[in-house]
Amino acid sequence: MQASGRAYKDAVYGQFARIGKALASPRRLELLDLLCQAPRTVDALAGEAGQSLANTSHHLQVLHGARLVESERKGVFVTYRLADDDVAVLYRSLRALAESRLAELEQVTRLFLDEREAMEPIGAVDLIERMRSGRVTLLDVRPEREYRSGHIPGAVSAPLGELEGRLEDFDRDGEIVAYCRGPYCVLAIEAVARLRARGFDAVRMEDGVPEWRARGFDVETAGAPL
């Protein structure tokens, strides 16, 4: 017996809904954001996302079930990565839609930044112009694994946890631009606050590597991720 048009449409939209259900969790969206930076083990993802190993594993299994991520086991460790670049595009599109439709998103972001002395970011084009002057130090304050997986050309790896011990390496007469994982990552905000407290002229760039790449700019790697 041939399937009815109604049954066919129900089946099709049911498959679409699998993606929607997988995305319908703040925790899973954060995991996708992290995986946009670099592949990670379950343990590393749990640590970065501040959740238990069991919960992280559960959320990853949901994402895997919707074919949004892939996994690879090496010994006792399981490493997850995005299924392909289309997943990163989907994540950025979802984020852009939320930015355009949800005033609450702008409000909570503005409140967070206002409490940190209106730390306005610079854009990618502005960064390129400043770097041409030769007096800008560009810091990638993400973990080294992410830097090695892909970073903005000319950037120096300075993970936030190591920043305090690296201050003597930076030019106090020049400008420092820090970037991290994108517009909703707080690592660069914290890095700039620490640098300013120690007398440096520091600003942050809002874009991370995925946004930089999406704009058509080149990205460098530093060998295989750790």
Is position 180 annotated as part of the catalytic site? yes
What phi and psi values does residue 169 have, to the nearest 5 degrees? -80, -10
- Rounded alpha-carbon distances, angstroms, from residue 164 to 26, 148, 173, 201, 206: 31, 21, 18, 16, 22
Residue 167 DSSP code: G
Determine the Cα–Cα distance for residues 87 and 178; give it in Å rounded to an integer. Answer: 26
Helices (H), the chain: 5-23, 26-37, 42-49, 53-65, 85-101, 103-114, 124-132, 144-149, 187-197, 209-214
3-state SS track over 110-148: HHHHHCCCCCCCECHHHHHHHHHCCCEEEEECCCHHHHH
Active-site residue, from 180, 191, 203, 209: 180
Task: Please provide residue 219's backbone torsions phi and psi, each rounded to the nearest 5 degrees.
Answer: -125, 135
Report the alpha-carbon angle 210-168-152, nearest 5: 15
Distance CA 35, CA 154 (A): 23
Give the type of residue at 24.
A
Cα–Cα dist 68/226, whole Å: 23
Active-site residue list: 180
